[in-house]
């Protein structure tokens, strides 16, 4: 007798081998042909020696689900997809840890990278490329490298790319803005003389990933009391006018790469840092 059994929970050639080996070990099984793409097994067996229900039961014992019903095997594809989405951002994670812990050596390592306007564009491209290569290798290694195979594993592909996009959005919309403000926290400096003034800088950074760099550079100036970053490129700086000035703030080397504009909130006038070229030069 030949029967087609639907099987759910198969993900790779290893699953096929496990089921095939198990079925061939049963008395009465004549032939087994399993298709990953079609999610089924074509089984030829002797009904005098083994029943169809027994075959279903043995498959389900391995953790798979057949069309008779039963629990589906829990897949680790979600974890794999999460890993594929996170791995390209290991560098970012290192930068975050370094900033929070204040590891000077680590910050010095990342600073040249962050001084490039295209660093995070490249990182985003790398994460998408990594996800693509991972999906293609997965399909190829499991003999699913086809349109049907792609359709068969659409959930896996969706999770992989969805995780990658999700990690990017989380970094740029949540993590980096928070990190810029954590990095900018001061040690409780008090005003020695003069007065506490504030200004709002609009800095020409391509994305929020560069915000922690700006905050860290501002912190190097004595007299900076507080820095608050807000999306997309605004930095509110409170400073002791007796110890520093707008000229000194705009004279930071980082503003040569990422030009800053002071927003005069009282009059609405915008003063470009190019007006302070004597300081910058």
Please report the pLDDT score of residue 203 as a whole number.
95
> How far apart (Å, rounded) are the C-alpha atoms in residues 211 and 214?
5
> How far apart (Å, rounded) are the C-alpha atoms in residues 200 and 249?
12
Domain 2-66 annotated CATH 3.30.70.100: yes
Residue 7 exposed, middle or buried by CB count within 10 Å (0-12, 13-18, 19+):
buried
Please report the pLDDT score of residue 79 as a whole number.
60
What six digits make up the tokens of 70? 């039963």
According to CATH, the topology of domain 196-280 is Alpha-Beta Plaits (3.30.70)
Highest averaged pLDDT of the listed ranges 171-180, 193-202, 227-236? 227-236
Helix, strand, or coil here: 233? coil
> How far apart (Å, rounded) are the C-alpha atoms in residues 265 and 272?
14
Laid out side by side, the sheet with 196-203 consists of: 224-230, 234-240, 196-203, 260-263, 270-272
Q: What is the pLDDT of residues 25-52, one digit of tens each?
A: 999 999 999 998 888 999 999 999 999 9
Contact 138, 153 (CB under 8 A): yes
């Amino acid at each position: 007798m030949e029967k087609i059994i639907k099987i759910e929970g198969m993900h790779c050639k290893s699953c096929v081998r496990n089921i095939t080996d198990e079925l061939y070990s049963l008395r009465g099984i004549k032939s087994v042909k399993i298709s990953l793409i079609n999610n089924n097994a074509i089984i030829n067996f002797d009904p005098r020696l083994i029943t169809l229900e027994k075959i279903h039961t043995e498959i389900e014992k391995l953790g798979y689900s057949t069309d008779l019903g039963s629990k589906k095997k829990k897949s680790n594809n979600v974890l794999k997809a999460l890993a594929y989405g996170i791995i390209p951002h290991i560098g970012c994670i290192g930068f975050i840890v370094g900033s929070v812990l204040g590891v000077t050596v680590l910050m010095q390592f990342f600073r040249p990278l962050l001084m490039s306007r295209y660093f995070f564009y490249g990182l985003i491209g790398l994460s998408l490329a990594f996800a693509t290569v991972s999906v293609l290798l997965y399909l190829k290694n499991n003999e699913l490298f086809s349109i049907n195979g792609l359709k068969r594993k659409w959930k896996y592909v969706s999770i992989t790319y969805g995780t990658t996009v999700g990690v990017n959005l989380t970094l740029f919309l949540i993590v980096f803005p928070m990190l810029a403000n954590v990095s900018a926290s001061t040690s409780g400096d008090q005003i020695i003389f003069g007065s506490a003034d504030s200004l709002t800088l609009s800095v020409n950074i391509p994305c929020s990933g560069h915000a922690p760099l700006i905050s860290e550079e501002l912190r190097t100036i004595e007299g900076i009391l507080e820095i608050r970053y807000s999306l997309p490129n605004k930095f509110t700086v409170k400073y002791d006018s007796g110890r520093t000035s707008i000229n000194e703030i705009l004279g930071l080397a980082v503003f040569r790469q990422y030009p800053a504009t002071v927003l005069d909130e009282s009059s609405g006038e915008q003063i470009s840092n190019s007006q302070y070229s004597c300081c910058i030069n």
